[in-house]
Amino acid sequence: MWSHFFLLVVVTIHVKGGEVDVRNFTTPAPEKVTAEVPPAETDDLSPTTFSDTSPGSLPGLLYPRESESREIKSLDGFWDFAVPPSHDVLKGHREEWYASGLSKTAKVMQMPVPSSYNDITTSRALRDHLGPVWYEKTFFMPASWKNKRVFIRFGSVHYLAQVWFNGQVLVNHEIGHLPFEAELSNLALFGQKNRITVAVDNMLVKTSVPQGRIDDVEADNGTVKVQSYTFDFFNYAGIHRPVLLYTKPRVFVEDITTYTAVIADMGVIEYHVTVGGLNEKETPLCQVRVLTAANEYVGNQPITGTLGFVKIPSPRLWWPRSMSNDPGYMYTLEVTVSVPNVTEADIYRLPVGIRTLRWTNTSLLINERPIYFRGFGRHEDSAIRGRGLDLVTTTRDYELLKWVGANGYRTSHYPYSDEVLDMADRLGFLIIDECPSVDTENFSQSLLKRHKQSLSELIRRDKNRPSVVMWSIANEPRTQLPDAGLYFKQVAHHTKTLDPTRPITIALARNVLEDKAGQYLDIISFNRYNGWYSNTGRLDMITKRVMAEAKAWHEKYNKPVLMSEYGADTMPGLHELPEYVWSEEYQMETMSRHFDAFDQLRAEGFFIGEFIWNFADFRTAQTYTRVGGNKKGIFTRDRQPKMVAHHVRRRYHSLNAEIDGDTHHPKDLENYVSSHYSKCSERVKKVDLYI
Kindly give the pairing relationship between strand 34-35 and strand 222-228: unpaired
Residue type, 431: I
Kindly give the pairing relationship between strand 266-276 and strand 252-263: antiparallel
476 is catalytic: yes
Catalytic residue among 136, 476, 549, 589: 476
Residue type, 352: V
In whole angstroms, give the CA distance from residue 112 to residue 174: 22
CB within 8 Å of 407: residues ≥ 6 apart: 320, 321, 322, 323, 373, 374, 375, 428, 429, 430, 652, 656
CB within 8 Å of 618: residues ≥ 6 apart: 233, 234, 379, 381, 629, 630, 633, 637
Q: Beta-strand (E) ranges in 280-345?
A: 285-291, 297-304, 307-313, 331-338
Beta bridge partners of 409: 376, 431
Write the DSSP string, 129-176: --SEEEEEEEEEBPGGGTTSEEEEEES-EESEEEEEETTEEEEEEESS
Q: For residue 530, report the phi and psi dihedrals to the nearest 5 degrees.
A: -65, 135
358-385 burial, b at 16+ Cβ within 10 Å, e below that, comes to bbbbbbbebbeebbbbbbbbbbbbbbeb
In whole angstroms, give the CA distance from residue 74 to residue 632: 36
In whole angstroms, give the CA distance from residue 531 to residue 594: 10
Contact 227, 216 (CB under 8 A): no
Question: Which residues are known to be catalytic?
Answer: 476
